[in-house]
């Protein structure tokens, strides 16, 4: 009678923890080892196994630490290692809701059907209809409506309207800008919030967005500029810092970098169109990168009990010790000092009314590309107004262009919008 085949599966003992990896020695009896080797070579099952003596076994030890560091510990970059549920990522969704509310209010203030006398796109939307594409390529409000809501303009900042620095990061140039910007924020922001927590992600979001607005304020021309893309670029900068700092923990590093650069490049191209601002994007990305080096430490895998550990974090939480929190102190300290100097310097420059565009003539092309529908030059448009009973004629004093409108009751702000279109 043939002896029973050894049960090799029950003789393997293996335990793995996430943050502290402890591997028990894999013990395989002599017969099991011979069986595995023969199956590997012949791809057949062993029909006869030599009897083994009771309580006698040969132990073969294998060090699997390197293998698991290379395979198990590495994950795709955009796959969060932490398992927070969707409701735990409330900070990004809260900012998205705020942006949505502000955009709806902006379109209500614009009221294209009334202020533009029906010369609108998507007239069926009524009060929420958009300005024509020739006036706003993003399909959004007029320049005067953006001015009312808090867009940054050089002449308005000269009047010490500093409240615009806080409203400008919430404004979008139009529905195209709104959709593209928020989709990118959701894609990048939710990953960062799941991986590094709501508080740190929220801090980077707000500080980088405000820093970008300060950069806009010292470069802005005499045309309305919105800075909502600054928050996205702040998150992009923080993501780049997280990727480069934890380079060895991820598998698809090059693909992740290409994705981030594509998102940044695409949004910078959009920033060359009117109303969007590239200065805030560049300033926010630099700020987000420095803040990411300060706040984003290496993510850990070990998970502990499910309970509330902080703002909006109810799922399985990650465990950190002070060694991980205080790792690379020189890099963190240098990044914090650089960000502080940058932030304070920008704030002082804005309060002093410094405008670098006066000294840098070519800087305008970072934010604008010349086109027949608009100008990159910082000039004020003026028009001669001739009104009758039913018609209004505007003639540009700069180039002689004129246009006749079939209405006369129009606000001064809207008249300036139309004059800018005629003179451009």
Q: Distance of CA 334 to CAs 68, 211, 241, 319, Å?
A: 33, 18, 14, 26
Backbone phi and psi for residue 285, each to the nearest 5 degrees, phi listed first: -65, -40
Q: Give residue 364's pLDDT.
A: 84
| Predicted local confidence at residue 65, as pLDDT | 44
- List per-block mean pLDDT (blocks of 10 residues) for the chain, which spans 424 residues: 49 40 42 55 43 42 43 58 57 94 95 86 90 89 93 87 93 95 94 89 96 94 90 95 82 86 94 91 96 78 42 45 63 93 95 87 84 71 81 84 84 86 81
Closest CA relative to residue 172, chosen from 224, 241, 120: 224
State the Cα angle at 206 between 204 and 209, rounded to 5°.
95
349 and 218 in contact (C-beta within 8 Å)?
yes
- Entry field: residues in the chain: 424
Q: What are the backbone dihedrals phi and psi of residue 313, each rounded to the nearest 5 degrees, phi first? A: -110, 95
310's tokens: 């902080």
Q: Which pTM was predicted?
A: 0.75
Measured between alpha carbons, how far is 166 from 384 in angstroms, rounded to an integer? 35
Kindly state the tokens that stand for 157: 């900042």
- Say what the pLDDT of residue 308 is: 43
Beta strands in 137-226 (DSSP E): none
The dihedral through the CA atoms of 239, 240, 241, 244 has a sign that is positive
Share of the chain residues as helix, strand and coil, in percent rounded to the nearest 5: 50, 10, 40
- DSSP class of 310: B
The pLDDT value recorded for residue 343 is: 96
């Amino acid at each position: 009678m043939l002896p029973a085949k050894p049960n090799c599966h029950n003789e393997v003992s293996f335990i793995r923890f996430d943050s502290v990896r402890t591997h028990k020695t894999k013990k395989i009896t002599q017969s099991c080892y011979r069986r595995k080797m023969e199956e590997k070579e012949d791809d057949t099952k062993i029909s006869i196994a030599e009897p083994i003596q009771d309580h006698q076994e040969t132990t073969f030890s294998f060090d699997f630490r390197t293998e698991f560091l290379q395979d198990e510990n590495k994950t795709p970059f955009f796959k969060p290692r932490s398992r927070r549920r969707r409701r735990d990522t409330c900070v990004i969704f809260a900012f998205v809701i705020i942006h949505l509310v502000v955009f709806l209010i902006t379109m209500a203030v614009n009221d294209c059907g009334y202020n533009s006398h029906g010369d609108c796109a998507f007239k069926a939307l009524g009060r929420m209809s958009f300005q024509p594409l020739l006036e706003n390529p993003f399909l959004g409000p007029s320049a005067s409506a953006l001015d009312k809501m808090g867009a940054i303009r050089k002449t308005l900042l000269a009047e010490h309207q500093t409240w615009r620095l806080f409203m400008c990061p919430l404004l979008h140039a139009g529905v195209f800008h709104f959709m593209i910007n928020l989709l990118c924020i959701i894609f990048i922001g939710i990953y960062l919030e799941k991986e590094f927590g709501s508080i740190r992600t929220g801090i980077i979001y707000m500080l980088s967005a405000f820093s970008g607005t300060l950069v806009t304020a010292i470069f802005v021309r005499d045309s309305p500029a919105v800075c909502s893309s600054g928050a996205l670029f702040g998150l992009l900068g923080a993501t780049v810092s997280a990727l480069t700092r934890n380079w060895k923990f991820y598998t698809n590093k090059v693909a992740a970098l290409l994705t981030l650069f594509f998102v940044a490049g695409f949004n910078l191209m959009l920033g060359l169109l009117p109303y969007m601002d590239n200065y805030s994007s560049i300033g926010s990305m630099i700020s987000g990168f420095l803040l990411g080096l300060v706040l984003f430490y290496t993510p850990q895998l070990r998970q502990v009990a499910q309970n509330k550990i902080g703002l909006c974090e109810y799922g399985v939480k990650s465990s950190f010790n002070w060694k991980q929190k205080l790792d690379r102190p020189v890099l963190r300290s240098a990044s914090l000092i650089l960000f502080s100097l940058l932030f304070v310097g920008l704030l002082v420059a804005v309060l002093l009314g410094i405008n670098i565009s006066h000294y840098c003539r070519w800087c305008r092309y970072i934010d604008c590309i010349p086109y027949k529908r608009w100008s990159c030059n910082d000039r004020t448009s003026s028009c001669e107004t001739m009104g009758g009973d039913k018609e209004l004629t505007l003639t540009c004093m700069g180039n002689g262009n004129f246009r006749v409108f079939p209405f006369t009751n129009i606000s001064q702000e809207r008249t300036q919008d139309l004059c800018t279109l005629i003179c451009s």
